[in-house]
Amino acid sequence: MRPSFLDRLIRCKPLASFVAEASDDREHKALGRSIGLFHLVMFGVGGTIGTGIFFVLSQQVPVAGPAVILSFLIAGVAAGLTALCYAEISSLIPISGSSYSYAYATLGEGAAYFVAACLVLEYGVSAAAVAVGWSEYLAKLVSDLFGMTLPYALSHAPLLVDPDNPYALAFGGAGVANLPAVLLVGLCSLLLLRGSHESVLANTLMVIVKLSVLTLFIVVAGCAFHGANLKPFAPHGLGGISTAAGSIFFTFVGLDAVSTAGEEVVNPRRNLPLALLLALLIVILFYSLVAAAALGVQPAAEFQGQEAGLAVILEAVTGAQWPADVLAAGAVVSIFSVTLVCLFGQSRIFFAMARDGLLPGFFYRVTQRSRAPYVCTIVVGVAVAAIAAFVPAEVLWDLTSMGTLVAFTIVSLGVIILRRTQPDAPRGFKVPLFPLLPMLSVASCLYLILHLHALVFEVTGIWLAIAGAVYLSYSARHSRLEESPRA
């Protein structure tokens, strides 16, 4: 007897099934475990630092003023609460799929599919947005080093954004396609096809470069700090601070990406929670110091529309070009790592969905040598490259925050549910002060969601309606739980 629509929505995948599938390689489709603790920490830092700190200040300082420092801290506190929840649930379910898989084990197939759709906003859209920002730093670096200007038509999207409404897009601009952004996505996809070990090693080297460059910025800018630049501190009040915090939250996307690698981590019950917490501490420290240093040397009004902002600030502070060139080069390298991690996360989520039958089986294919899910990687790369080529970054940031916040909310709820339904299951880490901290995590995420632009909800709603149609027409009927529904 076929299950009813409601039965399909609420059927959960047993925890034992996740573990068994991750270790069963009879079909030669398991992902090999090759990532240790240090590289996993660098993976989290690499997927986080670089998304926002290199170019989000020009977007959010006009919204919150110098108080954007508090916006970073608010977003960091929310991310910290959620990181504790991720640490527990990832040690319990150490497999690919991240919050999609966690939702499947706790809230059911319908919620898992909903989360997966939001994760497309978190990873796919984020990768495109970061690639667009990368092209700005690349253009500055090429201009400074070689005196060349990249053709506007080949480095900007053809769509124009209304300054008063970033979701009112129209053709008519001088841009044809953002080819540098496409190049970045292509290079990252090729590296991922080489395998997880090679990708993680390359990411570690890039993280070391980015932290060194940001340390240079903090030291140099800190020496020219002027407290007068922080006044007025909060010109738009609490509303501006909260709105900026909601948008900035996407810069913590790399923390979720750590859990997407769960199936490829050595000793995951120990290393996943440790990596999440260590990466969070490093990220919050650098975000706070860089934001404070930048706002201390440049008046808030000058951030509006500023491209390659940190490099421009460093050049103005030193009166020399070479420090700015060093920072621009570091940004080009470090933002590469963010795109790499986002593409990695998205491909692993599609892989997990295909294994569950919710996506076509060809997504569930890996190369025999590197054990990389090559079909997922290619499809994700092509889709992200298309978005990066034709859509300006302004329309992408808040969509990424929406996807990230929804995923974080579900993970926090999942911890509460699993403590009740699976109290004796082995955990490598437990959230302290349960259930207070998971409840605070849910509340903080919902608070930030409510401060996103109203049009973000409309665009997200349209996207979820499309995803729902796909679920009804294909995924629900092809789920591996369809013939033997489980509770």
Taking Cα atoms as reference points, which of 448, 418, 258 lies closest to residue 348?
258
Q: Which of 199-203, 381-385, 449-453 has the lowest mean pLDDT?
A: 449-453
Whole-Å CA distances, 439 to 107, 269, 282: 16, 23, 24
**CATH value at residue 139:** 1.20.1740.10
Of residues 123 and 377, more confidence is placed in 377
Distances (CA, A) of 415 to 107, 399, 456: 11, 25, 27
Residue 256, in any domain of the structure: yes
The answer on pLDDT for 29 being more than 70 is no
Residue 426, preceding peptide bond in cis (omega within 30° of 0): no
In a domain, 20, yes or no: no
User: pLDDT at residue 487 above 70?
Assistant: no
Q: Indicate the DSSP class of residue 298.
A: S
| pTM (two decimals) | 0.81
Q: Is 452 left (phi over 0), alpha (psi -120 to 50) or beta?
A: beta
Supply the pLDDT for residue 111. Answer: 92
Residues sharing a CB contact under 8 Å with residue 468, sequence separation 6 or more, in sequence order: none
Q: Does 8 map to a domain?
A: no
What is the token pair recorded at 172?
């008519």
- Pick the range with the lowest mean pLDDT from 100-109, 124-133, 287-296: 124-133
For residue 408, give Cα distances in angstroms to 79, 119, 356, 412, 446: 8, 10, 22, 6, 10
pLDDT for the residue 430: 92
Structural domain boundaries, residue 89: 34-478
Q: Residue 263 has what DSSP assignment?
A: G
Mean pLDDT of 72-97: 85
DSSP E strand stretches across 24-176: 159-162, 165-171
Structure tokens at 266: 């050595």
- The number of distinct structural domains making up the chain is 1
User: Percent of the chain beyond pLDDT 70?
Assistant: 91
Which residues does 177 contact at the CB level (< 8 Å), separation at least 6? 154, 157, 158, 389, 390
Query: Does the pLDDT at position 168 exceed 50?
Result: yes
pLDDT value of residue 165: 59
Q: Which residue has the higher pLDDT, 307 or 106?
A: 106
Residue-wise pLDDT tens digits, 354-407: 999 999 988 888 887 777 888 999 999 999 999 888 887 666 766 777 888 888
Residue 171's φ and ψ, nearest 5 degrees, are -75, 165
Residue 1 forms part of a structural domain: no
Burial of 485 (0-12, 13-18, 19+ CB in 10 A): middle
Task: Tell me if 250 is assigned to some domain.
Answer: yes
* 486 pLDDT tier (thresholds 50, 70, 90): very low
Q: What is the DSSP letter of 471?
A: I
Residue 360 lies in a domain: yes
Q: Is residue 247 part of a domain?
A: yes
pLDDT tops 70 at residue 32 = no
103 found inside a domain:
yes
For residues 326-342, average pLDDT: 82
Least confident of 76-90, 132-146, 280-294: 132-146
Q: For residue 397, what pLDDT is reported?
A: 65
- According to the model, what pLDDT value does residue 24 have? 56
Whole-number pLDDT of residue 172: 64
Picking from 172-186, 202-216, 239-253, which range would have the lowest pLDDT averaged per residue? 239-253
Lowest-pLDDT choice from 28-32, 97-101, 236-240, 475-479: 28-32
The more confident residue out of 459 and 415 is: 415
Q: Is 161 helix (H, G, I), strand (E, B) or coil?
A: strand
Q: What separation in angstroms does the CA of 35 have from each of 31, 61, 458? A: 11, 37, 39
Tell me what pLDDT residue 164 has.
62
Most confident of the following: 152-166, 299-313, 433-447, 449-463: 433-447
Length of the chain measured in residues: 487
